[in-house]
């Protein structure tokens, strides 16, 4: 989980930033990186502590890089979606022991739209 969710973002930025810096020097046009974090890094995630830690790392990486590269024409931000219908969420629903509707209702208790997001 750390390798994909945190180090994946790190390695992507490691290669994106130098290219964007070169573009900014050559054209004067900046660039933008949007990282995907999670609502779990803002409030914690019971039974998903490693996931929450990885996504919290994405926030720290994003904030630090945003400050470091702002004067070099780069905007670096993160979005923090709530639960999204992925294999991880489906696994949670299956192993919760509750009917699917109840498990999803529990996941979306604090979500204004009262639903999980869909990947597409």
Residue 105 has what pLDDT?
A: 86
pLDDT in tens, 94-120: 888 899 888 888 888 878 888 888 888
Q: Residue 21 in contact with residue 72, Cβ under 8 Å? A: yes
pLDDT in tens, 19-62: 999 999 999 999 999 999 988 777 777 778 898 899 999 999 99
Where are the extended beta strands (E) located within the chain? Answer: 31-36, 74-79
What residues pair up with 31 in beta bridges, in sequence order?
A: 74
The first and second tokens of residue 36, run together, are 């995907």
- Domains of the chain with bracketed CATH: 2-81 (3.40.50.720), 83-120 (no CATH)
Banded pLDDT at 93 (limits 50, 70, 90):
confident
Model pTM score: 0.80
- Active site amino acids: 51
In whole angstroms, give the CA distance from residue 18 to residue 26: 12
Are the CB atoms for 18 and 60 separated by under 8 Å?
Answer: no
């Amino acid at each position: 989980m750390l390798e994909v969710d945190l180090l994946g973002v790190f390695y992507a930025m490691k290669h994106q930033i130098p290219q964007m810096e070169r573009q900014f020097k050559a054209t004067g046009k900046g660039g933008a990186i949007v990282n995907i974090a999670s609502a779990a890094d803002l409030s914690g995630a019971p039974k998903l502590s490693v996931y929450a830690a990885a996504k919290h790392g994405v926030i720290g990486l994003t904030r630090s890089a945003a400050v470091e590269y702002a004067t070099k024409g780069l905007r670096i931000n993160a979005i923090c979606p709530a639960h999204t219908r992925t294999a991880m969420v489906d696994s949670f629903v299956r192993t919760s022991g509750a009917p699917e509707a109840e498990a999803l209702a529990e996941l979306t208790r604090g979500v204004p739209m009262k639903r999980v997001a869909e990947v597409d």
